[in-house]
Amino acid sequence: MIDTLHNSPGQTRERMLRALGPDYAYFNAQRNERHFDPNAVVFSTLLGLLLAAITAAFKEVGKSLGKAGWNEMLSRLEIDTPEDHPDLRKQLDTIKNTEVTLAQAGSVLSLTEGKALIENIRSNVEHELLALRFPAANAHRIARELSVIIEEKLTGNDRSS
């Protein structure tokens, strides 16, 4: 069967893009010149936005908890900030590395701490989307759908696998 997204990072990428849907058009709608961007550029922006939200949440929520290996995890997230126009392979590698870091974080956080981290990530994403002038309802929905993916990676209850 050819039509299968058997690879977890590939499926995660697809799910993230589906969560964004046609609202990709908001990404460059503030510019005066009009761009028609390919999927790779759209995803690069989305991934960058999500990584920034995760990194900020790790700093805000996680650091104060004093968990073992936290600084190391944070450093890995900071290294993985994607370039402006990465190729597909780099994007999948970044997803994979982030998944590993999230799983590691999930193993040292309690249920309540994990929920606080996810809520912080969700709120950061929503805030970023609102800053890009996404309609409030859409920003809320997309942030929620992305946070579900994050939760799965953090708890190991991964629908992508």
Binding site for other proteins (CB under 8 A): 2-5, 7, 10, 13-14, 17-18, 21-26, 28-42, 88-89, 92, 133
Least distance (Å) between residue 159 CB and other proteins: 17
CA distance 13 to 18: 9
Q: What are the two backbone dihedrals, phi and then psi, of residue 7, each rounded to the nearest 5 degrees?
A: -90, 125
Least distance (Å) between residue 117 CB and other proteins: 29
Amino acid at 18: R
Least distance (Å) between residue 84 CB and other proteins: 13
CA distance 43 to 10: 12
Q: How many CB atoms lie within 10 A of CB 128?
A: 18
Least distance (Å) between residue 116 CB and other proteins: 32
Least distance (Å) between residue 145 CB and other proteins: 15
Contacts of 157 (CB under 8 A, 6+ apart): 151
Name the 3-class secondary structure at 27: coil
CA distance 101 to 99: 5
